[in-house]
Structure formats: structure tokens, C-alpha cells
Structure 1
Amino acid sequence: MQRVLIVGPCGAGKSTLAAQLGPALDLPLFHMDQLNWKPGWVESSKEEIREKLAAITAQERWLIDGTYGGTLAPRLERANTVLYLDYPIRLCVARLLKRIWTHRGQSRPDMTEDCPERFDLGFLFYLLRWNSGPKHRLEAALKGHEAKVIRFHDPIQLKRWLDSQSA
């Protein structure tokens, strides 16, 4: 695994897995949230993100966490492993709410400085609608890349896989 992409719904644990896996594989770690957000919750332009990603994905080794469908195609092309956290949305909602509570008023380690965690009803609704829209778009994007996708349906399955990798 030299170029790893971690995708899945919000709150699945992509950044947590990346923080664990990046050092274990000695891969440079990039968080899509940090690439997208500037201080004060200012969103980067699509062109800015594409330029950043082009420089990152041109490298021989990397780990990128985050789905961000609009920039997925070039990352998928270069990735040799895609870890898909295809978890139940009820679990992701619970994890999202825990994350909001735990980091309330402060920036998460995987987020740009001066982007304090906050409750966003629109973001919650986006997650609640994951299975009826964003998931279908992700699944369509993954077509043709199935050979490099490792899909996990629950955290226990992921833990077993991680344990088998370290053995």
C-alpha cells in the first residue's frame, strides 16, 4: 500500500483511521478537510483544491482521507488501495454527534486551525440522506476500481483487517 485513499460517510472514522494507518505505513498523511477549509471556515475554490491534490497525488506515496466526490476521480486513478468505511448511518450519526461534543469550540486535529467544531443542521441532514444520494454517487465513482477497494461494513471488520495487516 503506497497510495491509500480512505472514503465513506461523515462520522465513519476516516480521519481516525488515517491518523492510525499513516504512521504505521510510514505514509505522508493528507486530510481533505484541511485541503478544503481555510481558517474561519472559508472554503477553498475547486481550482485551489485540484492544484493541491495534483501535487499530492503526483507523489509516489500518500494517504488521503475524505470522500469529497468532486475531487474523487483523480485520487481514485492514482490510488492503489481504497479503504471504504461503508458503515451504518446510525453509527456515523452517533460518531458525528460525539465528535461535535468532544471538539466543540476548538479545531479538530484533522481540521484547519481556526475552524472550530460546531453543530451544523445542514451537515447533519446531509449525513442522514447519505444512503439516498451521496452513497450512490460514491458507488458509481468506484465502478472500475473494484480491484483496489477494500470495503468494511462495521468497525469490527476493520479491526480484524488491521490486526491481520500487523501480523
Structure 2
Amino acid sequence: MDRPIASGTVNYIDDAIAADHIRSARRMLVVGCSGGGKSTLSQKLCGHLDLAYISIDRDILWLPGWVQRDRAEQRQRIVERIAGDRWIMDGTNPSTFDVRVPRSDIVIWVRMPRLLCIWGVVTRWLKYLGRTRPEMAPGCIEKVDWQFLEFIWTFEDRFSPRIVAGLAQHGPNVPVLQLKSRRQMQRLLDLLGVPA
């Protein structure tokens, strides 16, 4: 059951309530640490629900060769893409929550343990060794370095407070599902009837 919302809080919901919201949602935001399964989950949901897939990495943030777009251009590209009516946006970037969260029907926060995220990134790197993965900008060859591993290791401590604050400030009435294990993610997909 949904609980009453007070200003400045996050509207956390459970799997069953989230599944009901997702079935009717037209716009979803999927956030969380690299390697946690955001892109895989987003693409499965897009295929099942016939929603457009928007990747922050591919469509907003990166230019070929791991060059970041200018922040103003990133923001403009986000605004243009979320103007559409049916989408799932895969990517965290709390600095743009002010435009993305209010436009979302639900937020799914993929909040996996950091060792699982590191495992996800390393296995993804091996899968796409020497190539660019589909949800990344062209010319961004998959890589793993110490800086990226440190980012993942410290993500929960450094970014979770910003995520919570951004969700509370910009979407206190937007339902938020936290997925904290692969089992919970699979349970959600099962509730939605998404094939494995």
C-alpha cells in the first residue's frame, strides 16, 4: 500500500505496487551505479512495454573517443528527449533530476551491492573487449580502469545521498522502487511477465 507523502521525502514502493505502476507508466527513469544492470533492465522493459529507450551514456553524455559533451548541450538533449510521451531513460546524473524526475511516472533505482556492480562491469568489458557496447556512444571502446573501479566502489557513499536528495526535492510524489538484488530484479520482471 502506498504511504502518505510528506514534503522532502522519497515515495518508496514495493515490487508489487511498482509492477502495477510500471504496467501503466509512459515515462520511466532507471538510475543506479554502473554495472548494476540498469541498461539490461531498461531494454527488457522497453521491449515488453513498447517504450523508446534513451541512454544517458549514448544519447546525452558521450561523444566518440570518450569525450564528454558540454553540460549545457547535455541538458538540452535531455529536455528534447523527455518531451516525448513514451520512454525509459537509463542513467543516473543527479544534476539533471530537476528536469527528469518530475516528468517520470516512476523511478527504478538499481541499487546493487558494489561487488556485484564491479563484477557486472568486468564481465561487460570482457564481453565487449575492443568494441563499443550498444548502449554507449559510437567510438567509446569498452574499458575498465582503476578510476572507474574506484567510482563504482565509492558510488553508494558519494552518490546515494545526492540521489535521495534529488528524488525528494524534485519528485516527492513520484514512486521509487529500489532493486537491491538480482533476485528482486527477476521477481519484478516475473510480476510484469517479461520473458527471461
Partners of 1:76 and 1:145 within 8 A in 2:
no
Q: Which of 49, 53, 65 is equivalent to 2:90?
A: 65
User: What runs of 5+ residues in structure 2 fail to find an aligned partner?
Assistant: 1-24
Match of 2:10 in 1: none
TM-score (normalizing by structure 2): 0.81
Mapped pair 1:163 → 2:190:
yes
Match of 1:109 in 2: 134
Distance of aligned partners of 1:145 and 1:104 in 2 relative to their CA distance in 1, 3 Å threshold = farther
TM-score (normalizing by structure 1): 0.94
Mapped pair 1:28 → 2:52:
yes
User: What runs of 5+ residues in structure 1 fail to find an aligned partner?
Assistant: none
Name the CA distance, whole Å, in 2 between partners of 1:145 and 1:93.
Answer: 31
Mapped pair 1:3 → 2:27:
yes
Higher relative contact order (CA 8 A, sep 6+): 2
Counterparts in 2 of 1:43-122, with a 5 A limit?
A: 43-122=68-147
Deviations 1:110-149 (A, max 9, x none): 0011110112211111111112211111121121436411
Distance of aligned partners of 1:113 and 1:157 in 2 relative to their CA distance in 1, 3 Å threshold = same
Q: Once the two structures are aligned, what percentage of the paired residues are identical?
A: 32
Q: Which of 17, 21, 24 is equivalent to 2:41?
A: 17
CA RMSD of superposed structures (Å): 1.4
Q: How many residues are paired up?
A: 167
Moved >6 Å (runs of 4+) = none
Kindly state the Cα deviation for residue 166 of structure 1 after the two structures are TM-superposed: 2.1
Which secondary structure does the structure 1 equivalent of 2:143 belong to?
coil
- Determine which structure has more spread, i.e. the larger CA radius of gyration: 2
Deviations 1:50-86 (A, max 9, x none): 1111111112111100101222221111000111111
Name the CA distance, whole Å, in 2 between partners of 1:146 and 1:156.
Answer: 27
Deviations 1:8-31 (A, max 9, x none): 111101011111111111111110
